[in-house]
Chain A
């Protein structure tokens, strides 16, 4: 089966930067996704990486290294509303999307 690992919890202060790491071992690779999920709500799409390197979208950036099976999501200038669970997901050679268990980020004032 697929194996996707990310830390369970992270805490940071408002205005700071937090980096959420994700490592994966999958049968083939057709892209990596990051989703944000607030409690009681739907996961929402944040970013997609298929080539090595950094993708920047405002305060959020996502990095991919396919050779290392590694990605991170960087959240800058943290705001209270960024408190949520962040899900790493990888699409394999059959285009199936497998998810990690999610990282709960708590932003403190």
Chain B
């Protein structure tokens, strides 16, 4: 089993749909993250969880709703999205936040297309 697994790999949804992205990490880490990656733009941090507690919400619209039931699982619930939300959504984990040398380990991402 690879370190960080994301499902689905691809998702096409209409603006009125509700869907969820799932992330699971098998590294024993305590921090998990959602990033948005759009073409030619820097990765944008969306949410951070440390020991299951949300520590960062980077001014993300409420149509994105994260959930972290335990340190190994992270979800991103989507509803009434806009076409500009189409992007690659990357999940990552690290030992914990507040540890400078701890790198992020990323999943392969979910390619989201909003029609």
B8 proximity list for chain A (CB < 8 A): none
Interface size class of A (residues with CB under 8 A): 20 to 34
* Contact present for B45 and A95 (CB under 8 Å): no
B108 proximity list for chain A (CB < 8 A): 40-42
* Contact present for B100 and A91 (CB under 8 Å): yes
* Contact present for A8 and B40 (CB under 8 Å): yes
B40 proximity list for chain A (CB < 8 A): 8, 101
Docked pose: A89 CA to B37 CA in angstroms: 14
Given A42-B4, A101-B40, are A50 and B45 neighbors across the interface (CB < 8 Å)? Answer: no
State how many angstroms separate the Cβ of A6 from the closest Cβ of chain B. Answer: 10
Docked pose: A91 CA to B48 CA in angstroms: 14
- 30 residue pairs from A and B, CB less than 8 Å apart: A8-B40, A30-B100, A31-B100, A31-B101, A33-B103, A35-B106, A40-B108, A41-B108, A42-B4, A42-B107, A42-B108, A43-B106, A44-B106, A45-B104, A48-B101, A50-B100, A87-B43, A95-B97, A95-B99, A95-B100, A96-B45, A96-B48, A97-B45, A97-B104, A98-B42, A98-B45, A100-B42, A101-B40, A101-B41, A101-B42
Q: Which residues of B line the A interface, CB within 8 A?
A: 4, 40-43, 45, 48, 56, 90, 97-101, 103-109
Docked pose: A96 CA to B100 CA in angstroms: 9
Minimum CB distance partner of A91 in chain B? B100
Give the interface SS of chain B, mostly helix, strand, loop or mixed.
loop
- What 10 A-B pairs have minimum CB-CB distances, sorted nearest first? A30-B100, A42-B106, A99-B43, A45-B103, A99-B42, A31-B100, A42-B108, A101-B42, A43-B106, A95-B98
Docked pose: A33 CA to B106 CA in angstroms: 14
Query: Is A4 interfacial (CB 8 A cutoff)?
Result: yes
Q: Which residues of A line the B interface, CB within 8 A?
A: 4, 8, 30-31, 33, 35, 40-45, 48, 50, 87, 89, 91, 95-102
B109 proximity list for chain A (CB < 8 A): 42
* Contact present for B42 and A50 (CB under 8 Å): no
A48 proximity list for chain B (CB < 8 A): 101, 103
